Structures are given as structure tokens and as C-alpha cells.
Amino acid sequence: MTVKMDENTGIIDELLDKATEYGKAELELAKLKALDKVSEIVSGSVPTLIVMVSASVFMLFLNLGVALWAGGLLGNLFLGFFAVAAFYAIIALVLHLFMHKWLKTKVGDYIIKRILK
């Protein structure tokens, strides 16, 4: 009877060891999957960020040029800057009033798609 009990104890110990190893392997796999997803998102975002920074610098200088040009036409430089600011205020208002929900949905869908990809 004790031999059978010792045998069962050995089997249970072996089963517990294998379950522990399985749990550790699953945890390591989850860590590696998370790392893969994070690295994929970051590596995909860096080129986009570089393009956005370049486009922002371009837009900055373009807007400065337009403001100076419009200011020259209007007689005072500061009026050109006010005209450019008013233009962007109107665009922002239109986007907020008519496209806010649509933009929010599109951005949310894009983020979810990138995470689940």
C-alpha cells in the first residue's frame, strides 16, 4: 500500500512540476507576444512621426510665408498673421462641428486595428 502511495505522490509531484513549467512557458510566451506587438507598433510609428515632423516644419514655413504675403497685401504684417489664424480657426470649428465623431471613430478603429494586427 505504501509503494502505491509513494508512486502516486511521485506522479503528483511530476504533474505539479510540469504544470509549473507550463505556467512559466505561457508567461514567457505572453511576454514575448507583448514585446513583439509593442516593437511592431513603435517601429511602424517612427517613420510616420518623422514624416509628420517634416510636414509640420513645411507647414510652419508655408504659413509664415502666407502670413507675411497677406500682411503685405493688407498693409500691416500683423493683419496677415490674423488672417492666417482666422483661416485655421474656421477650419478647426468646421472639423469640430461636423467631423468630430467621424474622426474619433476613424482614429479609434486605426488604433484597434494596429493593436490586434
pLDDT < 70 stretches in the chain: 1-6
Domain range spanning residue 73? 2-116
**How many domains does the chain contain in total?**
1
Q: What is the pLDDT of residues 54-75, one digit of tens each?
A: 999 999 999 999 999 999 999 9
Q: Are 71 and 78 in contact (CB under 8 A)?
A: yes
Structure confidence at residue 3 (pLDDT): 58
Q: What is the pLDDT of residues 48-57, one digit of tens each?
A: 899 999 999 9
Integer-rounded Cα Rg, in Å, for the chain is: 30
Structure confidence at residue 5 (pLDDT): 64
Whole-angstrom distance, CA of residue 14 vs CA of residue 82: 78
State percent of the chain over pLDDT 70.
Answer: 95
Three cell numbers written together for 86: 482666422
